[in-house]
Structure 1
Amino acid sequence: MKRRIHLLNCLAATLVLTGCMGYRLGGSLPEGITTVAVAPVVNKTSEPAIELQITHALRERIQFDGRLKLVDNVQQADAVIEVALSAYQLNPIAFRTDLRTTPELYRVRISGNAELKKVATGKVIASSTTFGESVFEFKSDLTSSKRDALPAAASEIARLMVDDLIEQW
């Protein structure tokens, strides 16, 4: 009887382990795509110069992810990421208790579209439409406060875009 139970346990363990064969953590890359370049980000919003921070965050995220090698030149890349920023929103979300018309906390939201294209054919391999946001406290002036909050929003949109583009494979 004990021998049968041991045999059944071994059989169950074998079935469970063979069911996981071929499973990988993370996405798989399409054949022939090992390097990627980031095209200059297109800013279609009214907020000036945010594309610079987004480009920096995208490059940083690709390097952190490690599944693709980042190259500077599109001609050296197997694929290119093209991003267009479509919206920049600034909304007050909390107001001071003593002056109910004066915002204390703001939320900045940056929306955009990204496409991963094969350089050789121009074919879109994957696309992503997403947003990144950050909450910040109003300090002495709104311009400085927005500038301080931008890296967090840029980092979030870059993370979501890169993850979306790579995980679609």
Structure 2
Amino acid sequence: MNSRFTACWLFLLLCLTGGCAGYRLGAPGPGDKVGRTLRVLPVVNETLEPRLSEFVTTALRRQIQHDGTFRLTTGDDDPADWVLRATVIALERHGVSFNPNDIVRPQDFELILRTRVRVTDRTTGQVWLDRTFEGRRLMRIGPDLTSSERQALPLVAEDLARQVVLALAEGDW
């Protein structure tokens, strides 16, 4: 009786765990992304705002490493499966809230960083993703607008990078 009971439990356990062998977490994208490598080229800045390309490039690379879906490559000696090219198209500032005593000067701005991202297959040249993303961040204006903006720009770039990497990892293309 005891051996029959143990055999039934082992059979049930085998049946339950055997179905999990082909399970994959997340939605599959074009091709199998597991083990894929990605190279992020330096971002092109088409705006007049200095250092935006550095902020976005750093944020994209950091977010790709943090996510872990892709392995980030950096040099020619380690070729990537996919190549990510990004172009900063616009940086917009919109007044969100105003001082009740001075309705001309905003207290808070919303910064919007618009960037076009294109991901291509390195060997075939096939375009996997070609889309415009927007990073957004509220910015409280302190005593100096320039220093407030300088502190907010890396955070806007991080928001943009999260959206790009999420689209890549979830196969939203």
TM-score, normalised with respect to structure 2: 0.78
Separation of aligned partners in 2, 1:89 and 1:110: 7
Which residue type is aligned with residue 94 of structure 1? S
Which residue type is aligned with residue 153 of structure 1? V
User: Please, which moves more after superposition, 72-81 or 26-35?
Assistant: 26-35
Separation of aligned partners in 2, 1:24 and 1:101: 54
| TM superposition shift of 1:31 | 4.1
| TM superposition shift of 1:168 | 3.1
Which residue type is aligned with residue 26 of structure 1? G
User: Please, which moves more after superposition, 22-31 or 67-76?
Assistant: 22-31
Q: 2:45 aligns with which of 43, 46, 61?
A: 43
Separation of aligned partners in 2, 1:63 and 1:128: 21
| TM superposition shift of 1:165 | 2.7
Separation of aligned partners in 1, 2:163 and 2:97: 26
Corresponding residue for 2:5? none
Give the percent of matched residue pairs that are identical in Structure 1 and Structure 2.
Answer: 33
- Closer, same or farther in 2 for the Cα pair 1:47/1:156, shift >3 Å? same
Which residue type is aligned with residue 68 of structure 1? F
Corresponding residue for 2:135? 132
| TM superposition shift of 1:44 | 1.1
Which residue type is aligned with residue 26 of structure 2? G
Corresponding residue for 1:55? 57
| TM superposition shift of 1:122 | 1.8
Kept after mapping to 2: 8 A contact 1:91/1:106: yes
**Uncovered stretches (5+) of structure 2, i.e. residues with no partner:** 1-14
Separation of aligned partners in 2, 1:63 and 1:131: 21
Separation of aligned partners in 1, 2:147 and 2:55: 15
| TM superposition shift of 1:24 | 3.2
Corresponding residue for 2:172? 168
**Uncovered stretches (5+) of structure 1, i.e. residues with no partner:** 1-13
Corresponding residue for 2:90? 87
- Between the two proteins, the alignment pairs up a number of residues equal to 152
| TM superposition shift of 1:23 | 5.5
1:157 corresponds to 2:160: yes
Instruction: Describe how 1:54-133 pairs up with structure 2 within 5 A.
Output: 54-73=56-75, 76-133=79-136
Runs of 4+, deviation exceeding 6 Å:
none
Kept after mapping to 2: 8 A contact 1:117/1:123: yes
Helix, strand or coil: the match of 2:58? helix
User: Please, which moves more after superposition, 86-95 or 69-78?
Assistant: 69-78
User: Please, which moves more after superposition, 92-101 or 106-115?
Assistant: 92-101
Corresponding residue for 1:25? 25
User: What's the RMSD between the two structures over aligned residues?
Assistant: 2.3
Separation of aligned partners in 1, 2:101 and 2:129: 49
| TM superposition shift of 1:21 | 8.9
Kept after mapping to 2: 8 A contact 1:115/1:165: no
**What per-residue deviation string (whole Å, max 9, x for no partner) do you get for residues 72-119 of structure 1?**
125621111100111110111111122222211011100011111111
